[in-house]
């Protein structure tokens, strides 16, 4: 049976590849990024965009790819939590799925601002960057949901004992560190790069385990026992 015609093999393969690809794309996006941010004033953002327009544009495109891969990753993780850790799986997948919109939106914002700067002092471009920086109020809550979703899904993996415990604990720890960095107002790119690198290791390991998992085992995760009704006797 081919990969495309076998639903269990296909879904576990997509989930495994996205668990590897989503954090890896996030890590690669950091390698060409500058220290721009949606909360900056246009006058502060303009010189950064002028100096690093090409890198910011590349970063935005790769970050958008990471966001696209995040949704199948969330669904794959929630699948293995249907028998144990179902509540964590449902909440985590919902949070991560919604957060993916903010993830994608931030990448799109980077692509847009990378084309806003022109040679010389352009007052119109500065004013435009001021307006587009207001996206922070919309994107920030969604980006926070990415962290929330990863933590909930990793807690579910621990509850279900679906993979070795070190991987979800590592992901939870680095997300906690990322939250501290973000609220500390650090503008350097290396802490975010380090966070994505660690997530690539932790989630990538889970993805490799998914790829190596027999299709029958994947299917078993998705089979939820039929609840007992009043018309069905409880087995002895």
The tens digit of pLDDT for each residue in 124-159 reads: 777 777 777 777 777 888 889 999 999 999 999 999
- Binned at pLDDT 50, 70 and 90, residue 226 comes out as very low
At residue 190, does pLDDT exceed 50? yes
pLDDT confidence of residue 118 = 66
- 76 burial type by CB count under 10 A (0-12 exposed, 13-18 middle, 19+ buried): buried
Contact partners, residue 212, CB within 8 Å, separation at least 6:
none
pTM of the complete model: 0.85
The alpha carbon dihedral of 10, 12, 15, 18 has a sign of negative
33 near 66, Cβ under 8 Å? Answer: no
Q: Would you state the torsion angle of the CA atoms of residues 209, 214, 215, 220, taken in this order, to the nearest 10 degrees?
A: -90
Integer Cα distance of 164 and 178 in angstroms: 23
- Binned at pLDDT 50, 70 and 90, residue 96 comes out as very high
Percent of the chain with pLDDT over 70: 87
How far lies 76's CA from each of 80, 82, 222, in Å? Answer: 7, 11, 10
């Amino acid at each position: 049976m081919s990969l495309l015609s076998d639903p269990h093999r296909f879904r576990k393969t997509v989930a495994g590849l996205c668990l590897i690809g989503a954090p890896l794309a996030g890590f690669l996006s950091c390698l060409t990024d500058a220290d721009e941010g949606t909360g900056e004033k246009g006058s502060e953002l303009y010189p950064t965009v002028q100096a690093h327009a090409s890198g910011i544009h590349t970063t935005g495109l790769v970050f958008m790819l990471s966001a696209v891969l995040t949704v199948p990753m969330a669904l794959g993780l929630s699948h293995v939590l249907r028998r144990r850790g179902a509540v964590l799986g449902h909440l985590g997948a919902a949070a991560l799925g919604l957060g993916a919109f903010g993830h994608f939106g931030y990448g799109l914002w980077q692509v847009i601002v990378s084309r806003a700067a022109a040679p010389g002092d352009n007052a119109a471009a500065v004013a435009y960057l001021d307006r587009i920086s207001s996206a922070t109020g919309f994107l920030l809550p969604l980006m926070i949901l990415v962290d929330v979703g990863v933590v909930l899904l990793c807690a579910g993996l621990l509850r279900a004992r679906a993979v070795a415990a070190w991987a979800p604990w590592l992901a939870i720890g680095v997300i906690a560190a990322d939250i501290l960095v973000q609220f500390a107002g650090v503008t350097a790119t290396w802490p975010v790069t380090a966070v994505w690198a660690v997530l690539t290791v932790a989630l990538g390991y889970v993805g490799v385990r998914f790829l190596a998992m027999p299709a029958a085992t994947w299917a078993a995760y998705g089979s939820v026992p039929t609840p007992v009704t009043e018309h069905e006797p409880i087995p002895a």
